[in-house]
Amino acid sequence: MEFFKTLTLPQVLAHLTDSGITAAHFETVSLLDALGRIAASDCLAPEDMPMFDRSTVDGYAIIGRESAGASEAIPGFFQLAGESLMGEAIEQQLQSGQAVYVPTGGMLPPGADAMVMIEFTEKMDHETLLVYKPSPPGAHISYRGDDVRKGDIVVAAGRRIDSYDIGMLAGAGYDTVCVYRKPKVAVISTGDEVRPVGEPITFGQIYDVNGYTISARLLELGCDVVEKALVSDNYEMLRETVETSLAKADIVILSGGSSVGTRDFTARVIESFEGGRLITHGIAIKPGKPTIVGKIDDKFIIGLPGHPASALIIFNAVVKPLIYQLMPHAPTPFVIEALLSENVHASPGKDTFQMVQLYREGSSWHCKPIYAKSGMMSLLATASGYIHMTNEKEGLSAGTAVDVYLLQEVRL
């Protein structure tokens, strides 16, 4: 038997980090198109927000201390002195004893320092307003810069822009946003037994599960899938497809059979290129050992294991961090503490990932390990996340509180 160079997961990740791979280029997109993209630079507020002292209610702007002591029995008397129109600046100085109507969101006249809600007022005649309740200085006012100060960061570089961020950017007046270009990834499925979906298959064949799962996962992370190919276990064809892919992609992902033969093809193809070198032929990780990481010049080629569940674990553990280097952002993995429903075994000396299904009982989360024979897809349909046992641990017993990493990205 041939002995392969095998690295641990931290060693592989160190290779990715030290690789000198730099972020992809920037591009400027219109505000709504920035949804889901990664901000490439800090977006600053060009002005204070709000830009002016505004009312948070429908009512009258007054000098607050002049309403002191006002009550139903003994109302305060104010002189009606016009109104502040929505969308317009008001320059008229409020004089002592005056009240100016201001709708919600409207600008306060200079000199006013409080709003009295319309509910607590009554017009005695065209010139006189009765105020039935005191409004202390500052009441119902949102001051200039209260929300965001000029120069504050509205959306920080590296943030995945969601609908709530779009709102912040709109508030600051951005109509375009500078985001990282989408990393371009090629996905190549290999295997004589692998057939394209939509065609009939016969005994001995399977459909191209990994090609689709990995492509969909890439789209979810915000990548461009620039190539999606399916080649049989033929060295020349595989090499040719990798060559074409290298010309247009930042990363090439191969996923194929897990048999030794298939893996050898991948390794040979990588080494056949000038500037091609194998970084690892196997990772000390369970599941996912038969993973190949190589580089051709400055581009990474990752050979994922053939089993769909293993391929996805490696995708999340290795490919995702690589993508995050091309469009730098550091999402906090969403971790939830849950109680193990049964004992779980780990493989000493390996990073062990165990898929689990989360369920809630009363107010606590519980998790149930999901076991499946190698190659089963149905694992994908039922798993909500995984627990990660580092090589110190031999296993965990039922009832232990464990950290469950969700399979999908969550905003906090």
Judged by CB under 8 A, the chain residues 263 through 292 that form the site for its own copies are none
Query: What CA–CA distance (Å, rounded) separates 333 from 209?
Result: 26
Contact positions with its own copies (CB under 8 A) in 36-55: 49-52, 54
Q: Which is nearer to its own copies, 75 or 276 (CB)?
A: 75
* Cα 245 versus chain centre, distance: 27
Q: Which residues pair with 252 in a beta bridge?
A: 186, 301
Please select the residue that binds its own copies; options are 135, 245, 255, 258, rule is CB under 8 A: 258
Instruction: Give the nearer residue to its own copies in terms of CB position, either 146 or 271.
Output: 146
183 contributes a contact to its own copies by CB under 8 A: no
From 15-23, 203-211, 241-249, 271-279, give the range in contact with its own copies by CB under 8 A.
Answer: 203-211
Return the range that interacts with its own copies (CB under 8 A); candidates 73-81, 212-220, 281-289, 386-394. Answer: 212-220
Strand bridging mode 283-286 / 351-361: parallel
410 CB-contact burial (10 Å; exposed 0-12 / middle 13-18 / buried 19+): exposed
Q: What burial class does residue 40 get, using C-beta atoms within 10 Å of its C-beta: 0-12 exposed, 13-18 middle, 19+ buried? A: buried
131 binds its own copies (CB under 8 A): no
Q: Out of 58, 224, 243, 264, point to the residue binding its own copies (CB under 8 A).
A: 58
- The span of 225-233, 243-251, 281-289, 387-395 binding its own copies (CB under 8 A) equals 225-233
Residue 19, SS3?
coil
Q: Which of 375, 391, 393, 395 binds its own copies (CB under 8 A)?
A: 375
Question: Using the rule CB under 8 A, which residue among 117, 132, 133, 171 binds its own copies?
Answer: 171
3-state helix, strand, coil in the chain (%, to 5): 25, 35, 45
Q: Are 323 and 183 in contact (CB under 8 A)?
A: yes
* The only residue of 366, 376, 393, 395 in contact with its own copies, by rule CB under 8 A: 376
Pick 87 or 275: Cβ nearer its own copies: 87
Q: Which of residues 76-105 bind its own copies (CB under 8 A)?
A: 84-90, 103-105
* Subset of 316-335 contacting its own copies (CB under 8 A): 334-335
Closest CA relative to residue 258, chosen from 295, 308, 217:
308
Min dist CB 406 to its own copies, Å, is 7
Binding mask 381-410 for its own copies (x = CB under 8 A): x-xx----------------x-x--xxx-x
Residue 336 binds to its own copies (criterion: CB under 8 A): yes
Considering only residues 4 to 43 of the shown chain, the ones binding its own copies according to CB under 8 A are 31-32, 35
What's the distance, CA 100 to chain centroid? Answer: 46
Closest CA to 250 of 295, 194, 199: 295
Task: Tell me the C-alpha distance between 390 and 396, whole Å.
Answer: 12
Q: Is residue 207 a contact point for its own copies (CB under 8 A)?
A: yes
Identify the bridge partners of residue 26 per DSSP, sorted by sequence position: 180
In whole angstroms, give the CA distance from residue 389 to residue 351. 6
Return the residues of window 350-369 that contact its own copies according to CB under 8 A.
357-358, 360, 363-365
Among 268, 377, 393, 395, binds its own copies (CB under 8 A): 377
Question: Is residue 68 at the binding interface for its own copies, with CB under 8 A as the rule?
Answer: no
Among residues 18, 72, 198, 275, the one that binds its own copies under rule CB under 8 A: 198
Q: What does each C-alpha distance from 363 to 230, 337, 338 come to in angstroms?
A: 47, 12, 11
- Give the residue with the Cβ less far from its own copies, 46 or 349: 46
Q: How far is CA 121 from CA 78, 139, 228, 256, in A?
A: 10, 15, 69, 76
User: Judged by CB under 8 A, how many residues of this single chain contact its own copies?
Assistant: 115
4 vs 52 by CB, closer to its own copies:
52
SS3 for 113? coil
**Who contacts 120 (Cβ-Cβ below 8 Å, separation ≥6)?**
59, 131, 132, 133, 135
Which residue from 206, 230, 237, 339 is in contact with its own copies, where contact means CB under 8 A? 206
**43, 129, 172, 344: residue in contact with its own copies (rule CB under 8 A):** 172
Applying the rule CB under 8 A, the residues between 238 and 257 that interact with its own copies are: 257
Torsion angle, alpha carbons of 264, 266, 272, 276, to 10: -120
